[in-house]
Amino acid sequence: MEIAAVNTVSVAPQTRLLSNTFSRKLGSVSSLSLRSIEREHRVGSARLRVSAASSSSSMDAVTAEKITPASFLENRESKKVLHFVKYHGLGNDFILVDNRDSSEPKITQEQAAKLCDRNFGVGADGVIFAMPGVNGADYTMRIFNSDGSEPEMCGNGVRCFARFIAELENLQGKHSFTMHTGAGLIVPEIQDDGQVKVDMGIPILKAQDVPTKLPGTKGEAVVQAELVVDGVTWNVTCVSMGNPHCITFGTKGGPNLKVDDLNLQEIGPKFEHHEMFPARTNTEFVEVLSRSHLKMRVWERGAGATLACGTGACALVVAAVLEGRANRKCTVDLPGGPLEIEWRQEDNHIYMTGPAEAVFYGSALL
Ligand SMILES: N[C@@H](CCC[C@H](N)C(=O)O)C(=O)O
């Protein structure tokens, strides 16, 4: 099969996005790997030409005259090279790996941490593996955070995963499937407009299952409890979406939070590593704009300040409802954009709707 011409589209610093058609046939390419491998390769009888720029801020231009299916890069996949697709959900970005042929992740947690490095690697908030399903599920999702730790769940990651599967399996239009995760069975549904609606399951409120050592304040749930962080008493509610979240609307007796004023880099790690959270925690700082409109900034366990957190958005709507601050259906503004969240009374499940986009295809040297 031949491809006569390939268009490149500028999308992100340091990358050129190859057209999907090209990328599917070629395998995958990124400026990272191209700079690292060679400047010009023979591809069967065709030639892939790379006009490279040495400055990391400039972009590589890629053209191909004739590409055969047995391309150079496909042949080159080995233990030393990992093909991936970079996705993001509202700026929460992930390296997606097609791991459907094995129940073991293709790379280690240490390698994932290196790939996530924004200076010395691809740059991402985590690496996600699309693996064979277990327990009757269609697929399994595993994820490593950017520090290499493995969380149970990732809301934005699920939406990216769904779009990745649709791309791999060539699914068109509305589609849903089941995914096994560390938080149990999750069901994403790709909408006609490309957004992904996810049944995120039932929130976990029992203190020891979150887990938190804070004592229950509403039965076994920790709602508007006091947590002393660095000498300041905060009011927090703890919710697990499979992974732990600590949600705060402000300090005890203090004014409502203005999240833009927070020094997240300073306060975030103190929550994450607080002794009351034996598995560490994600923390959402929330400002109430109205009963159906909330604004948040997040400090993620194992990833730090990110532009969005899907499980965090779900957890904070649960917290806002439990604290009597909001309705069950809310728009949550995150630094990277809005998510629609509903904690449905009828089935106690949380539904999250939002976007997920492919950014570029790449091959990383391990
Ligand atoms: N950004 C994610 C959450 C990823 C996992 C988290 N850092 C943890 O360790 O629990 C999301 O969108 O939910």
pTM, entire model = 0.82
pLDDT for res 77: 52
Residue ranges per structural domain of the chain: 1-76, 80-201+355-366, 207-348
Residue 298 pairs with which residues in a beta bridge?
A: 284, 306
Is 104 exposed, middle or buried (CB count within 10 Å of its CB: 0-12, 13-18, 19+)? exposed
* Sequence-separated contacts (24+) of 70-73 with Cβ below 8 Å: 70/44, 71/25, 71/26, 71/27, 71/43, 71/44, 72/41, 72/42, 72/43, 72/48, 73/26, 73/27, 73/28, 73/29, 73/33, 73/363
pLDDT, one tens digit per residue, over 315-328 is: 999 999 999 999 99
Closest residue to atom 3 of ligand 1, CA basis? 154
Which atom from ligand 1 is nearest to the alpha carbon of 149? 9
Higher pLDDT, 44 or 287: 287
pLDDT, one tens digit per residue, over 258-290 is: 999 999 999 999 999 999 999 999 999 999 999
**Percentage of residues in the chain having pLDDT higher than 70:** 78
Residue 160 CA to ligand 1 center (angstroms) comes to: 13
Angle, to 10 degrees, between the axis of helix 310-322 and the axis of helix 155-168? Answer: 140
* Distance of alpha carbon 160 from alpha carbon 158, whole angstroms: 5
The amino acid at residue 20 is N
Residue 298 CA to ligand 1 center (angstroms) comes to: 10
Residue 64 has pLDDT above 50, yes or no: no
Which atom from ligand 1 is nearest to the alpha carbon of 311? 13
DSSP, residue by residue, 2-65:
------EE--STT--EEPHHHHHHH----HHHHHHS-SEEEETTEEEEEE--SSTTS--EEEES
Which residue of the set 160, 309, 314, 330 is catalytic? 309
Mean pLDDT of the chain: 84
Q: Give the model's confidence band at 2: pLDDT under 50 very low, under 70 low, under 90 confident, else very high.
A: very low
Residue 155 CA to ligand 1 center (angstroms) comes to: 7
Mutate to test the pocket of ligand 1, among 87, 186, 282 (most ligand atoms within 8 A of CB): 282
* Distance of alpha carbon 14 from alpha carbon 56, whole angstroms: 6
Backbone angle region of 103, left / alpha / beta, with phi > 0 → left and psi within -120 to 50 → alpha: alpha
Q: Which residues' Cβ are closer than 6 Å to ligand 1?
A: 92, 145, 151, 154-157, 243, 282, 300-303, 306, 309-312
Q: Give me the CATH topology for the region 207-348.
A: Diaminopimelate Epimerase; Chain A, domain 1 (3.10.310)
Which residue of the set 154, 238, 314, 330 is catalytic? 154
pLDDT, one tens digit per residue, over 67-79 is: 343 444 554 555 5
pLDDT for res 79: 59
Domains 80-201+355-366 and 207-348 in one fold: yes
pLDDT for res 80: 81
Which atom from ligand 1 is nearest to the alpha carbon of 303? 7
Q: Give the model's confidence band at 34: pLDDT under 50 very low, under 70 low, under 90 confident, else very high.
A: very low
Residue 299 CA to ligand 1 center (angstroms) comes to: 10
Identify whether 154 is a catalytic site residue. yes
Residue 112 has pLDDT above 50, yes or no: yes
Residue 135 has pLDDT above 50, yes or no: yes
Architecture of domain 80-201+355-366: Roll (3.10)
* Distance of alpha carbon 177 from alpha carbon 187, whole angstroms: 6
Q: What are phi and psi of 187, to 5 degrees?
A: -125, 100
Which whole number is the average pLDDT over 3-25?
31
Identify whether 314 is a catalytic site residue. no
pLDDT, one tens digit per residue, over 93-107 is: 999 999 999 999 999
**Helix, strand, coil abundance in the chain, percent, nearest 5:** 20, 40, 45
pLDDT, one tens digit per residue, over 168-223 is: 999 999 999 999 999 999 999 999 999 999 999 999 999 999 999 999 999 999 99
